[in-house]
Structure 1
Amino acid sequence: MGALRQNFLEENHHTWRLFTCIGLHAGLIHLIINLGSVIFVGIHLEQVFGPLRTGIIYILSAFVGSLAAALFITNSPAVGSSGALFGLLGAMLSGVLRDWNVYTHKLAAISFLFFVSTINFAVGLLPYVNNFSSIGGLISGFLLGFVLLFTPEVKPLVHNKAGLYEYSTKSSVKSKLKLDRPIIRGVCLILFVVVLLGSLGAVLGGINVNQYCKWCKYIDCIPSKRWSCNDITANCETMVSNSQMTLTCMGNGNFRVFPYTNISQARMKDLCTLLC
């Protein structure tokens, strides 16, 4: 109900799914891992760079991740909620690299980023979790990190309470940040705008990268005996009686009775997809 799918986006022009897929998860495990990672990473970023800049990176990375997922879209439902998380991870990485001399726990931060990214990317190899959304969000967050996270909010912190971004004194941080890098910020801003507008134009133009890259699908889903990475062909038989509607998937025989009959064709296709 709102996930990305090729026939809905290209044939029915449901562009609103680019926004709804951001808030969807492919099950309870995906939800717990994703939200837990977002909260933990977001705390560290807000602690040093403030909620405003962190929120901007979160929202823009989620949207760019959604666009990246749409560029590699298949006829199987896909959710792109991980784009926002990987945007924060990319911003955290750029913040560490940019202000390398400021923070005392550099190796711990890099190790943490690698660990969280690996777990979430592995989850993305399962069906319905779109890894291209994660890649798009990571690129977006990394570029926006260089644009927005150029100066930490220097304020006194309790010793050993600054986490991965612990620093000593206000004066030492200011002295290390005297030489700003406006050129890097400008270049990264231009690159982000190019990525955003280029991806948006390609999606609205109906470009599907899978037509030119046959092996790219294995980045998003690895075939297994327990699930299939093939496109889903949803074909259902509809039976209406009194105030009930029965949908039966012609492919696997699954059926469900719904206590209503007056629904749109798009909603009926969504329900059929869930059954099949």
Structure 2
Amino acid sequence: MGSSVSAPMRICNGVESHLQLRSLLRKLALVRETAKAGNLVRSEIFIRKLKENILKELPPTRSELKREEKMSSRDMERGRKHRGDTQWTSWLTPTIVVANVAIFIVVMFINDCPKTTRGANEDCVAKFLGRFSFQPLRENPLLGPSSSTLEKMGALDWRKVVQGNEKWRLITAMWLHAGIFHLLTNMFNVIFFGIRLEQQFGFIRIGLIYLISGFGGSILSALFLQNSISVGASGALLGLMGAMLSELLINWTIYESKLGALFTILFIIAVDLAIGLLPWVDNFAHIGGLLTGFFLGFILLIQPQLGWEESRNSSQYGARAKSKYNPCQYVLFFIAAVLVVAGLTIGIVMLFKGENGNKHCKWCHRLDCYPTSKWSC
């Protein structure tokens, strides 16, 4: 690699040295003519300036070369950060997991199953946990609190959001979970997808995708599921999956083994959406979060095209710099930005006008639950 770069540089330096030598000879001839004319003062001034020019044209010293190498290495490091090659320290994703676990513990403490089910025919599950024990399996098979406790703690409820003006439930619902199985499944996937994305793109962009996707999932859920409550981080989680998918598509040219990664992500998303067809699973939150995260990925996870940083550095030597993003990336960025803003705006307006999404889409209820011989919706 060093030889391929140094050889052309030596050729260029040879040409420049030849031109500089001819210029120097012309200047020396002018000095002789000036001296012959007897104007010694002007000759001394000219010779002094000539020495300064010669010093400027001398090749760089070893210390100067080392200084230039350090500067170029810093430029390369900045280029790596632009391309997303530098790994960030992942702290936001573990914090999200810890926060969800802590909130679940608080919810179970407030739930206090032995007190709320006193006198009932069924006992709490895991009674040795005391007030942290779970509701009876017939009431909550996911090993968690009662629905009334979840509603009190901020579950998504259309009536309370729209009629009760409790808009904050669109955010709080994503931090609650129906049971320990629900919590563990979501947090495992958040760790799997969140840490990888955060290491590559940093906590700010991934945090925005997580929160906005969860918000988008809550909006779609509230529009279509108006007779039940909903909790869970699934919308935010599917948003991370959607962002990972769009990130792969918009940065297609810089990756290897692209098809394998594409099919893997699509398979995981398909499994999650298929699970959403089961009863008691809010698939509208899945779909809303997935779409929001997918379009946000085109906006927040775009990376410079391959070779941009190198061409930018070479432009200092007269070469034409490569465009930072290719035309396809610009088009996808613009379309995604329009769709995200329009989608969230329309959803919010429809929600607070009291619209029912099922009236505008007669078949959409099939996306949330598909009846079979084993269950009904």
- Normalised by the shorter chain, which TM-score bucket? 0.5 to 0.7
Q: Deviations over 1:224-250 (max 9, x none)?
A: 677653xxxxxxxxxxxxxxxxxxxxx
Q: Which amino acid aligns with 2:344?
A: L
Q: Pick from 168, 179, 187 the counterpart of residue 325 of structure 2.
A: 179
The answer to whether residue 363 in structure 2 is matched with residue 211 in structure 1 is no
The answer to whether residue 295 in structure 2 is matched with residue 143 in structure 1 is yes
Give distance in 2, aligned partners of 1:96 and 1:48: 13
Give distance in 2, aligned partners of 1:27 and 1:226: 23
Question: Compared with structure 1, are the counterparts of its residues 116 and 178 closer, same or farther at alpha carbon in structure 2 (3 Å cutoff)?
Answer: same
Q: What's the CA shift for 1:88?
A: 0.8
Using the TM superposition, name which of 95-104 and 30-39 deviates more: 30-39
Give distance in 2, aligned partners of 1:177 and 1:113: 29
Look up the match of 1:161. Answer: none
Question: Compared with structure 1, are the counterparts of its residues 149 and 201 closer, same or farther at alpha carbon in structure 2 (3 Å cutoff)?
Answer: same
Give distance in 1, aligned partners of 2:257 and 2:212: 28
Q: What's the CA shift for 1:63?
A: 0.6
Give distance in 2, aligned partners of 1:112 and 1:49: 20
1:61 alignment partner, SS class: helix
Q: Deviations over 1:16-38 (max 9, x none)?
A: 32122111233333322221111
Look up the match of 2:274. Answer: 122
Question: Compared with structure 1, are the counterparts of its residues 121 and 26 closer, same or farther at alpha carbon in structure 2 (3 Å cutoff)?
Answer: farther
Give distance in 2, aligned partners of 1:226 and 1:7: 31
Look up the match of 2:166. Answer: 14
For residues 238-253 of structure 1, what are the structure 2 equivalents within 5 Å?
A: none
- Asked whether the 8 Å contact 1:69–1:80 carries over to 2, the reply is no
Q: Which amino acid aligns with 2:360?
A: Y
Q: Deviations over 1:183-225 (max 9, x none)?
A: 4323321221111111111111111111233332221123467
2:178 alignment partner, SS class: coil
For residues 98-137 of structure 1, what are the structure 2 equivalents within 5 Å?
A: 98-137=250-289
Q: Which amino acid aligns with 1:63?
A: F
Q: Which amino acid aligns with 1:145?
A: G
Structure 1 residues without counterparts, runs of 5 or longer: 155-166, 230-276
Q: TM-score, structure 1 length as denominator? A: 0.68
Q: Which amino acid aligns with 1:219?
A: L
Q: TM-score, structure 2 length as denominator? A: 0.51
Q: What's the CA shift for 1:177?
A: 7.5
Give distance in 1, aligned partners of 2:158 and 2:285: 15
2:253 alignment partner, SS class: coil
2:156 alignment partner, SS class: coil
Give distance in 2, aligned partners of 1:66 and 1:93: 21
Question: Compared with structure 1, are the counterparts of its residues 182 and 67 closer, same or farther at alpha carbon in structure 2 (3 Å cutoff)?
Answer: same
**Larger strand proportion, structure 1 or 2?**
1
Give distance in 1, aligned partners of 2:211 and 2:298: 16
Name the larger-Rg structure. Answer: 2
Give distance in 1, aligned partners of 2:161 and 2:372: 27
Q: Pick from 229, 232, 242 the counterpart of residue 90 of structure 1.
A: 242
**Larger helix proportion, structure 1 or 2?**
2
Look up the match of 1:42. Answer: 194
Q: Pick from 68, 79, 82 the counterpart of residue 220 of structure 2.
A: 68
The answer to whether residue 177 in structure 2 is matched with residue 31 in structure 1 is no
Q: Name the count of aligned residue pairs.
A: 216
Give distance in 2, aligned partners of 1:69 and 1:190: 22
Look up the match of 1:201. Answer: 349
- Asked whether the 8 Å contact 2:176–2:233 carries over to 1, the reply is yes
Percentage of pairs with the same residue: 45
Structure 2 residues without counterparts, runs of 5 or longer: 1-149, 314-320
Give distance in 2, aligned partners of 1:34 and 1:101: 31
Q: Deviations over 1:238-275 (max 9, x none)?
A: xxxxxxxxxxxxxxxxxxxxxxxxxxxxxxxxxxxxxx
- Asked whether the 8 Å contact 1:94–1:145 carries over to 2, the reply is yes
- Asked whether the 8 Å contact 2:178–2:232 carries over to 1, the reply is no
Question: Compared with structure 1, are the counterparts of its residues 189 and 227 closer, same or farther at alpha carbon in structure 2 (3 Å cutoff)?
Answer: same
